[in-house]
């Protein structure tokens, strides 16, 4: 009867029939779950190799199954203790091991901390590059300098376009920053969509009139954003970042009625700032000359592709400045951070070959010092003022605005994007932490906020996010033409030499008997001046001679042992006499 009841829907189902049907449904659900688990989508791996717990060196790897895309490839500048180092670039060992998986390198904008390491990257891994017009132009300049122009596929992408790279679809969304053609990246994968903001600020009155595409961010937020990765540089600052156009009003006030030659120092990459200087120069009938290689390259590139709007005859060669009266001249220069070899620093020191600063100069430093550069900027300002020049800087006038979003702008992005997970990027730990607190105030659950560090592997999809390991990461030091040949040991030696100096002990020994034939002679560099410390040098020679004699009496003939014993004895003696610890290098020559 029960079997017939199951076959006939019109028969009232009761008693044992109910239990049979429930069991069948339960089995069906269990089988269905097994099938779902078989076809479950993979998780997306997010692996930052730079840019976290630091400023600069931004590079992030996105890996889905057997495919990889990379966002940005920047450098950072050496810290004070990195003596002699020119640049710091990210360690890309993980990418070298997986280069066959890489589909492309995508760039958010053209600042050094996002494109500076590309030439070094391409020397190891040749991949296609996707970026906007100005960013492509700046990358090409770098590749030409490194003689890498051929063989690299450069794909120019317009704001609003999408790029399909295997299982990744990447949309370039118009953003605002201190350089034109900046974009956010919406990275869509089977695991979900990641919105990577790059560097940004919310500027409602941008110089080029191209506002951030708030509508598209809101559309993506409505569809569902799995994770937001957002710029944390100004996460500790409350309120809003001022519009770039506000600087133009200050320039106009300074140019008005000024009869002096005007010298403006700013970041070479700030094309919008240069455009405002151009506008004032045209308005007040001044010609513009440019100093500094990076500034010249940037302005030439921006003019070629139409990102600086100016009359044809506005710019003149720096050699022509003596042909114009001071009231008809503007100089745009690098050196707003007081860099030792920059044009403005050389002008302040009187070492610039083309420009001599006088009391008839108005110097405008249109930047704020990056943390760590304050003393360099102060020194340049002091030197310029001692010459007699008038100097205007950020403490006196609102002559600079940041290119990064403050807390209220960050809140706007949260409101539009409505992400499930939040990953603060581009900042030191305190900035990542501050951005996390802003995220919580906007309704992001605390357990869904993930502070990452370089090299950690995060696996994420709609079902969850977890750290699953780490990969090799770190910093590679560039010193001249050497890449990676300067490490911690070399830096430690340089610091030792810079702090305590060097003593070299040279002597000649008989290879058969082990007796000293000549020496020891003492050479000192950076420790004491030999002529003024003859007694100390004589004592050092005597100690070295006695130690070598002891070795000879003990029958020690191994040069390594003799050097080691001599070095340790001299180190103890010199420290006792001077409370200094110079590097000691014994050199033994045998005959």
Q: Does 274 map to a domain?
A: yes
- The answer to whether 231 is a known catalytic residue is yes
End-to-end CA distance of the chain: 113
Alpha helices in 10-156 (DSSP H): 16-38, 93-97, 112-115, 118-124, 133-145
pLDDT in tens, 376-435: 899 999 999 999 999 998 888 888 999 999 999 999 999 999 999 999 999 999 999 999
Q: Does 397 map to a domain?
A: no
Q: Contact at 8 Å (CB) between 437 and 444?
A: no
Of residues 251, 257, 261, the one with CA closest to residue 361: 261
Regarding whether 57 and 149 lie in a shared domain, the answer is: yes
Helix (H, G, I), strand (E, B) or coil at 371: coil
Quote the CA–CA distance of 484 and 88 in Å, as a whole number: 9
pLDDT in tens, 306-355: 888 888 899 999 999 999 999 999 999 998 888 888 899 999 999 899 99
63-96: string of b/e by CB count within 10 Å (b at 16+)?
A: bbbebbbbbbbbbbbbeeebbebebbbbbbebbe
Q: Does 222 map to a domain?
A: yes
Regarding whether 173 and 79 lie in a shared domain, the answer is: yes
Q: What is the CATH number of the domain that holds 373?
A: 3.40.50.10710
Regarding whether 228 and 89 lie in a shared domain, the answer is: yes
The predicted pLDDT at position 305 comes to 87
Q: Does 357 map to a domain?
A: yes
Helix (H, G, I), strand (E, B) or coil at 359: coil
Element (H, E) at 564: helix 559-578
The predicted pLDDT at position 553 comes to 63
The predicted pLDDT at position 76 comes to 82
| Catalytic residue, candidates 109, 111, 400, 404 | 404
Quote the CA–CA distance of 168 and 445 in Å, as a whole number: 27
Regarding whether 73 and 51 lie in a shared domain, the answer is: yes
Output the CA–CA distances (angstroms, integers) from residue 504 to 201, 544, 554, in the order listed: 56, 11, 24
Q: Contact at 8 Å (CB) between 344 and 335?
A: yes
| Cα dihedral across residues 434, 435, 437, 438: positive or negative | positive
Share of the chain above pLDDT 70, in %: 83
Regarding whether 351 and 286 lie in a shared domain, the answer is: yes
Output the CA–CA distances (angstroms, integers) from residue 217 to 175, 190, 214, 337, in the order listed: 10, 19, 5, 35
Regarding whether 425 and 384 lie in a shared domain, the answer is: no
pLDDT in tens, 502-514: 778 787 776 666 5
Quote the CA–CA distance of 192 and 186 in Å, as a whole number: 10
Q: What is the CATH number of the domain that holds 535?
A: 3.10.20.580
Regarding whether 222 and 252 lie in a shared domain, the answer is: no
Of residues 264, 270, 268, the one with CA closest to residue 288: 264
375: DSSP letter:
H
Q: Does 34 map to a domain?
A: yes
Regarding whether 455 and 371 lie in a shared domain, the answer is: no
> Of 362, 392, 422, which marks where a domain is finished?
392
| Catalytic residue, candidates 72, 113, 231, 383 | 231
User: How many domains would you assign to the chain?
Assistant: 4
pLDDT in tens, 32-72: 544 444 456 789 999 999 999 988 899 999 999 999 999 99
Quote the CA–CA distance of 94 and 49 in Å, as a whole number: 9
Regarding whether 228 and 81 lie in a shared domain, the answer is: yes
Regarding whether 215 and 350 lie in a shared domain, the answer is: no
Q: Contact at 8 Å (CB) between 342 and 332?
A: no
- The answer to whether 404 is a known catalytic residue is yes
Q: Does 26 map to a domain?
A: yes
Write down the residue that tokens 């519009």 correspond to. 243
Burial of residue 260, with CB atoms counted within 10 A of its CB: 0-12 exposed, 13-18 middle, 19 or more buried: middle
Q: What global pTM score does this model have?
A: 0.79
What does the block give as tokens for 435?
A: 């951005």
The predicted pLDDT at position 430 comes to 94
Regarding whether 111 and 29 lie in a shared domain, the answer is: no
Regarding whether 56 and 200 lie in a shared domain, the answer is: yes
Q: Contact at 8 Å (CB) between 343 and 291?
A: yes
> Of 453, 479, 505, which marks where a domain is finished?
479
Sites in the chain below the pLDDT cut of 50:
1-18, 20, 28, 33-38
> Of 334, 366, 392, which marks where a domain is finished?
392
Quote the CA–CA distance of 315 and 586 in Å, as a whole number: 59
Burial of residue 586, with CB atoms counted within 10 A of its CB: 0-12 exposed, 13-18 middle, 19 or more buried: buried
Q: Does 134 map to a domain?
A: yes
Range of the domain at 505: 487-590
């Amino acid at each position: 009867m029960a079997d017939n009841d199951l076959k006939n829907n019109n028969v009232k189902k009761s008693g044992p029939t109910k239990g049979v049907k429930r069991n069948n449904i339960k089995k069906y659900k269990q089988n269905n779950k097994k099938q779902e688990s078989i076809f479950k989508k993979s998780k997306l791996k997010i692996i930052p190799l730079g840019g976290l717990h630091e400023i600069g060196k931004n590079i992030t790897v996105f890996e889905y199954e057997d495919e990889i895309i990379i966002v940005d490839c920047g450098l950072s500048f050496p810290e004070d203790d990195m003596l002699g180092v020119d640049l710091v670039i990210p360690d890309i060992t993980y990418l070298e091991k997986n280069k066959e998986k890489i589909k492309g390198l995508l760039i958010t904008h053209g600042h050094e901390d996002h494109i500076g390491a590309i030439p070094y990257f391409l020397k190891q891994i040749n991949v296609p590059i996707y970026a906007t017009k100005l960013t492509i132009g700046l990358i090409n300049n770098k590749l030409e300098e490194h003689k890498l122009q051929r063989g690299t596929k450069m794909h120019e992408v317009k704001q609003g376009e999408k790029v399909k790279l295997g299982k990744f679809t990447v949309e370039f969304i118009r953003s605002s920053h201190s350089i034109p053609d900046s974009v956010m990246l919406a990275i869509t994968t089977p695991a979900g969509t990641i919105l990577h903001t790059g560097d940004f600020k919310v500027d409602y009155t941008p110089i080029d009139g191209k506002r951030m595409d708030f509508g598209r961010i809101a559309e993506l937020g409505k569809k569902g954003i799995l994770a937001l990765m957002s710029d944390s540089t100004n996460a500790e600052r409350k309120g809003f970042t001022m519009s770039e156009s506000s600087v133009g009003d200050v320039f106009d006030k300074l140019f008005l009625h000024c009869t002096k030659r005007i010298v403006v120092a700013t970041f070479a990459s700030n094309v919008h700032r240069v455009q405002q200087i151009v506008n004032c120069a045209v308005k007040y009938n001044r010609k513009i000359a440019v100093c500094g290689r990076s500034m010249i390259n940037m302005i030439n590139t921006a003019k070629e592709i139409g990102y600086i709007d100016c009359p044809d005859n506005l710019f003149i060669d720096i050699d022509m400045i003596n042909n114009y009266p001071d009231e008809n001249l503007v100089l745009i220069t690098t050196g707003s951070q007081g860099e030792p070899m920059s044009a403005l620093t050389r002008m302040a020191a009187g070492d610039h070959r083309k420009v001599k600063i006088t009391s008839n100069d108005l110097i405008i430093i249109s930047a704020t010092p990056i943390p760590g550069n304050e003393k360099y900027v102060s020194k340049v300002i002091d030197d310029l003022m001692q010459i007699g020049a008038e100097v205007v800087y950020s403490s006196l006038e609102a002559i600079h605005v940041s290119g990064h979003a403050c807390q209220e702008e960050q809140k706007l992005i949260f409101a539009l994007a409505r992400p499930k997970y939040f990953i603060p990027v581009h900042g030191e730990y305190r900035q990542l932490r501050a951005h996390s607190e802003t995220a919580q105030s906007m309704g992001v659950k605390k357990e869904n906020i993930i502070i990452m560090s370089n090299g950690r592997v995060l696996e994420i999809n709609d079902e969850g996010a977890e750290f699953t390991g780490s990969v090799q990461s770190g910093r590679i030091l560039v010193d001249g033409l050497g890449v990676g040949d300067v490490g911690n040991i070399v830096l430690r030696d340089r610091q030792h030499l810079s702090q305590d100096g060097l003593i070299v002990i040279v002597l000649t020994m008989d290879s058969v008997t082990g007796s000293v034939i000549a020496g020891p002679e003492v050479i000192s560099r950076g420790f004491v001046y030999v002529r003024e410390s003859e007694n100390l040098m004589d004592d050092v020679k005597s100690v070295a001679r006695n130690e070598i004699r002891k070795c000879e009496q003990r029958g020690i003939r191994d040069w390594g042992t003799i050097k080691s014993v001599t070095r340790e004895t001299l180190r103890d003696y010199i420290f006792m006499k001077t409370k200094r610890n110079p590097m000691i290098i014994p050199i033994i020559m045998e005959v």
